[in-house]
Amino acid sequence: MVEDNPYAPPGSEDQPAPLPPGTPPQQQRWPKVIGIISCVLAGVGLVSSPLMMAFNELNPDSQRFLRLLPDWFDSFSTGSMLVGLLFGVLLLVAGFMTIRKRALSRSLHLVYAWYGLLSVIATIGATISAFGGIETTYLSAAEQAGVIGGMVGGIFGAAFGAAYPIFIIVWFRRQKIRDDIAQWVLLP
């Protein structure tokens, strides 16, 4: 049973106990964690996009499959990967700036996150449009399965890609996080 202290000011039970004099303030760990996660995800994107582009160009099976899709989808896919590389660099910079506690990192993360959500919507729409228009009547069973798998994989892959952008938007909108960032260095 907790005893009430009659000498404590009203409402003090809701406040944490003050730190003893000379105790350093508690360090913020979240900037390092968020920064490292951003850098790792950016690194994965910066490595995987060129590899996927090379795979699509050099693999004959991939080329045969891409010929089933409308011509615009190949341009959309290549353009998305190239723009994705730019936003991967943006996320990498945002991650490093978050680790170094630079206030601009919040804005960079939010630009990345909103682009990511728009990209997901565009990718899902393009995938449904491109794969839905394939005439499967003359395809083998394996090719038909590939078309269905490509469509489902494209939709789920894009939706999975929305997880970190949504997290970033929610995270950086929290008042505690905004208060922490308000104390950071403004310039890079």
Q: What gap in Å lies between CA 55 and CA 63, rounded to an integer?
A: 9
Of 25, 38, 54, the residue nearest 108 (C-alpha): 38
What distances in angstroms separate CA 186 from CA 101, 112, 182, one per listed residue?
9, 19, 9
- Domain span at 99: 30-179
Please give the backbone phi and psi of residue 102, each rounded to the nearest 5 degrees, phi first: -105, 130
Q: What gap in Å lies between CA 44 and CA 167, rounded to an integer?
A: 18
18 lies in a domain? no
167 lies in a domain? yes
48 lies in a domain? yes
34 lies in a domain? yes
- Percent of the chain, pLDDT > 70? 85
Tell me the mean pLDDT in the region 125-148: 80
41 lies in a domain? yes
Q: What gap in Å lies between CA 52 and CA 5, rounded to an integer?
A: 66
3 lies in a domain? no
Range ranked top by mean pLDDT from 29-43, 44-58, 149-163: 29-43
12 lies in a domain? no
Summarize pLDDT for 78-105 with one digit per residue, the tens.
Answer: 898 899 899 999 999 999 999 999 999 9
Q: What gap in Å lies between CA 114 and CA 69, rounded to an integer?
A: 28
Please give the backbone phi and psi of residue 185, each rounded to the nearest 5 degrees, phi first: -70, 135
The domain tally of the chain equals 1
134 lies in a domain? yes
pTM score, two decimals?
0.76
Q: What gap in Å lies between CA 114 and CA 96, rounded to an integer?
A: 19
In the structure encoding, which two tokens stand for residue 125, read together?
């729409």
